[in-house]
Homo-oligomer: A and B are copies of this chain.
Amino acid sequence: MATALAKPTSPPQMGDALAALENLLGDRLSTAMAVREQHGTDISYHPAAPPDAVAFAESAEEVAEIVKICSRFAIPIIPYGTGTSLEGHIAAPLGGLCIDVSNMNKIVDVHTEDLDAVVQPGVTRKTLNTHLRDTGLFFPIDPGADASLGGMASTRASGTNAVRYGTMRENVLALQVVTADGRIMRTGGRSRKSSAGYDLTRLFVGSEGTLGIITEVTLRLYGIPEKIAAAMCSFENLEGAVNTVIQTIQMGIPIARIELMDDLQMHMLNKYAKLGYPEKNLLLMEFHGTEAGVKEQAEMVQDIASENGGGNFEWTTDAEERNKLWQARHDVAWANKEDRPGWGFWATDVCVPISRLADVILETKADVVKEDLRAPVLGHVGDGNFHMTIMVKPDDPEYLKKVEAANDRLIERALAAGGTCTGEHGIGIGKVKYLQAEHGDSVQLMQDIKRALDPQNIMNPTKIFGPSTGPRLHS
């Protein structure tokens, strides 16, 4: 959707930097407009903003050399993995250099006994899981897109499996990073836990490229469960679905996935995929364990669901049946895209304490109905995280404003409930204004850290904090 190119602003010393970079990289430095445009364009509603050039890096040492040149000439640096950001993380509104790490795609090491893997940042999650197939292990974090693991670490991504396996916060053991002055550093070792000093790993996870560039990621792996069961269940009332989730978690049932689609989402899905599911609130679930374990889990959740008004509970361990159930979940993006051909979408991403989830969804649904917006709901409800996908009429700035205002009110509601403006997409340029509302004075602590580690503000400037953070590069 991001088509309108923002007017590029080149840093004053870009020419000198390009000469030095070309010397270092040869034809792995590109200034071709098509390459620049592609690298400044994510999959969101945010306007594209191409960098002045794109460097295709091949090693941490090379990234360090590139960063040293950019540091010398005060050139903004924007890291790039697969370009699947939803909040403008890869836009270059101040120009500068995009460092594309997609060629840094080696799986460096898999330690099967320790259940960890060391990968370069350009490796995608699907590539890693394909590589792991014969080991009996897998990496669970699944944000939908086949994102790069460096990018997923940078935005603290999660997705459908987080209710059981956690997010990138819990599953990155350590990082190798290149700092803003071009030093290569490690944030930790491979032990499962450590109390040795500040948690630099967690500081870099979710820092969206504003503190350094991730050049290696050490990840936790898990044994592929002996059995996987999928289940679905429909609810007339949203509260019933959410209460089912609350009670399931409270009872300690180790559910692996629990996803919500609301009535409108189910309607759009039925229409797109020619299915006949009830157009009610649907919970789609997955259980991991032994044969007896998944059966017991599914039956316990079935009992909970039926006490909460759930009907049509179906569960299966058959792989084909299971894939069919989950196909519905995967088709959502296409169903939404085809619902209004030519329209775009605004991906909201609040996350709230689960006791407040039903209220926040219901109030928001009432709000968008009142505003005559089309906005299906899809939720990682085990985490209290849901996405309302607000459809956006093309080439209609007034309509976009109406959508933005609805998102503003949704975020106000989430913050009032003790939640967050973004559960998994990150701040980027899209949620800068909400950061202050959410964190208040503690944004100053974040900015103190940013200034300490990147005094020139060259690492992905404008992201997280907006244009006003730290010493400006140029006006």
A385 proximal to B (CB < 8 A): yes
Determine, out of A4-12, A285-293, A363-371, the stretch whose residues face the partner at the interface: A285-293
A393 proximal to B (CB < 8 A): no
If A191-B383, A193-B424 are given as contacts, then 14 extra A-B residue pairs at C-beta distance below 8 Å, sorted by A number, are: A155-B195, A169-B199, A183-B441, A185-B442, A191-B420, A195-B425, A196-B426, A198-B446, A198-B464, A199-B202, A199-B205, A203-B203, A223-B251, A449-B452
A383, B191: Cα distance in complex, Å: 8
A290, B292: Cα distance in complex, Å: 11
B252 touches A420 (CB 8 A): no
Given A193-B385, A293-B296, A156 and B115 contact (CB-CB distance below 8 Å):
no
A443, B197: Cα distance in complex, Å: 8
A-B contact pairs, 14 of them (CB 8 A): A111-B353, A111-B355, A169-B193, A191-B385, A192-B351, A193-B351, A193-B385, A195-B423, A196-B438, A197-B438, A198-B203, A198-B464, A448-B453, A449-B453
Q: Size range of the interface on A?
A: 35 or more
The 0/1 profile, CB within 8 Å of B marked 1, for residues 332-360 of chain A is 00000000000000000101111100000
The 0/1 profile, CB within 8 Å of B marked 1, for residues 49-81 of chain A is 000000000000000000000000000000000
A198 touches B206 (CB 8 A): yes
Given A189-B419, A422-B194, A179 and B445 contact (CB-CB distance below 8 Å):
yes
Given A202-B199, A203-B203, A250 and B443 contact (CB-CB distance below 8 Å):
no
A385, B188: Cα distance in complex, Å: 16
By beta carbon, the residue of chain B nearest A380 is B193
Give A166-206 interface residues, CB cut-off 8 Å to B: 166-167, 169-170, 179, 183, 185-200, 202-203, 205-206
Give A422-475 interface residues, CB cut-off 8 Å to B: 422-427, 431, 434-435, 438-443, 445-446, 448-453, 464
By beta carbon, the residue of chain B nearest A198 is B446
A435 touches B384 (CB 8 A): no
A33, B194: Cα distance in complex, Å: 35
Given A113-B355, A439-B186, A223 and B252 contact (CB-CB distance below 8 Å):
yes
Residues from chain B with Cβ under 8 Å of A222 in the complex: 252
A132, B211: Cα distance in complex, Å: 40
Given A191-B352, A296-B292, A169 and B202 contact (CB-CB distance below 8 Å):
yes
